Amino acid sequence: MSSLKRTYIAYLFMVILLLFGCSSDISLEEKIVKILEGSENKDFERVIDYDIKDDFIVVIYKSKEFDQLNIGFMKVNNGKLEWDSGMGGPELSGGDQFISDPIVVNVMIPKEPGIKDVKVFEKYAKQVKYSEEINYWIAYTDKSPNSYEVEYIK
């Protein structure tokens, strides 16, 4: 195993250890919610889903003020989970958001009904069906796609 791979594995282990450390009984999702609730500037109603990607925790959450999803990025800094950045995402009635910084995240809500799958760069995106109202697909890629590189499958 290369030293770069060992370093990456060790770093990932440290992040997981810090997030799930034995010094606290609070879950990762509860930590995320505390950060979102702790700021008056974040348009937060509830957490829908989150993924750990590279050095970031990507959080998809429902907007309180608008009929849309928001996308936030959190990072462990000095052993503590902290807010990095965030932005408004797609409207629940349909739309997409392609983010390229700090990592490439693609969130799609089809406008037309009956979509069974979504592909980005010919790879299936992960579907997250939270409720009848909130159903979207998310893909992590190396670059942002254009409209021809996103395929909606009925």
Average confidence score pLDDT of the chain? 87
Question: What strands, in cross-sheet order, belong to the sheet with 126-129?
Answer: 95-99, 105-109, 135-140, 126-129
In whole angstroms, how far apart are CA 152 and each of 118, 122, 129?
A: 5, 11, 16
Given the structure tokens 């995240």, which residue do they identify?
A: 105
**Higher-pLDDT residue of 113, 11:** 113
**Higher-pLDDT residue of 20, 122:** 122
- CB under 8 Å to 30, separation ≥6 — which residues? none
Strands annotated E in the chain: 46-53, 56-62, 68-77, 80-91, 95-99, 105-109, 117-120, 123-124, 126-129, 135-140, 150-153
- Residue 111, pLDDT > 60, answer yes
Let me know: does 61 contact 78? Beta carbons within 8 Å: no
* Whole-prediction pTM: 0.81
